[in-house]
């Protein structure tokens, strides 16, 4: 995902970040240095050095900061971002469990009813195209229970608690 445009909205005290699919907000309160009435935002631009995956802002004092798109996605609890983060965590856990398991890779493959290629695809932490249920099945084969914990959000400014 790339940033198409970014503006500073002083009334909302937030950056408005436009991507190909939606516009996301990121509060000034989340950045350092923070734009304030005494040191307001001078300019903000999509950072080409970051392959359009971040933006840089400059305050009147000359101080500047950079925000990565992931910080914006995290703040907005983007479902795609959260899915990939969960997939990564489960993959690292699966790698560790495979390493520690008394089962041979061949036996794991047999129990999964799949191919070696598929197992290595599941264990590749840079592959985000696999499904979470495939990973859960692998962890089940490795004799692991996976508990999902759902928590209420903490209250955030500008958002109903």
Partner 1 sequence: MGLTGVTLHGNHNTPRHVHVYRDGKFIVKWDLENQKAMKGQAPRRVVKLILELDSEGHL
- In the complex, minimum distance from the CB of residue 10 to partner 1, in angstroms, rounded to a whole number: 25
Nearer to partner 1, 21 or 125 (CB): 125
Q: Bin 160: left if φ > 0, else alpha if -120 < ψ < 50, else beta.
A: beta
Q: Which of 18, 63, 71, 137 binds partner 1 (CB under 8 A)?
A: 71
Q: Which of 16, 39, 42, 70 binds partner 1 (CB under 8 A)?
A: 70
- In the complex, minimum distance from the CB of residue 50 to partner 1, in angstroms, rounded to a whole number: 6
Site for partner 1 in 112-151 (CB under 8 A): 125-126, 128
Interface with partner 1, residue 54, by CB under 8 A:
yes
Query: DSSP letters along the chain, please?
Result: --EEEEEEETTTTEEEEEESS-EEEEEGGGSSSPP-SSS-EEEEEE-GGGTTSEEEEEETTS-EEEEEHHHHHHHTT-HHHHHHHHHHHHHHHHHHHHHH-SS-HHHHHHHHTS-HHHHHHHH-TT--SS-HHHHHHHHHHTT--------PPPPBTTB--
Interface with partner 1, residue 20, by CB under 8 A:
no
User: What is the pattern of x (binds partner 1, CB under 8 A) and - over residues 24-53?
Assistant: ------------------------xxxx-x
Residues at the site binding partner 1, with contacts judged by CB under 8 A = 48-51, 53-54, 66, 68, 70-71, 74, 82, 85-86, 88, 92, 125-126, 128
């Amino acid at each position: 995902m790339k940033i198409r445009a970014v503006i500073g909205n002083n009334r909302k005290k937030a950056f408005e970040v436009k991507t190909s699919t939606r516009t996301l907000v990121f509060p000034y309160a989340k950045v350092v240095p923070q734009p304030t009435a005494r040191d307001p935002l001078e300019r903000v631009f999509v950072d080409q050095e970051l392959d359009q995956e971040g933006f840089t802002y400059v305050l009147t004092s000359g101080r500047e900061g950079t925000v990565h798109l992931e910080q914006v996605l995290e703040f907005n609890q983007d479902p795609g971002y959260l899915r990939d983060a969960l997939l990564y965590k489960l993959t690292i856990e699966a790698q560790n469990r495979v390493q520690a398991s008394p089962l041979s890779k061949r036996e794991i493959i047999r129990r999964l009813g799949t191919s070696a290629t598929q197992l290595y695809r599941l264990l590749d932490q840079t592959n985000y195209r696999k499904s979470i249920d495939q990973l859960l099945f692998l962890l089940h084969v490795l004799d692991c229970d996976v508990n999902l914990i759902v928590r209420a959000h903490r209250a955030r400014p500008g958002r109903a608690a």
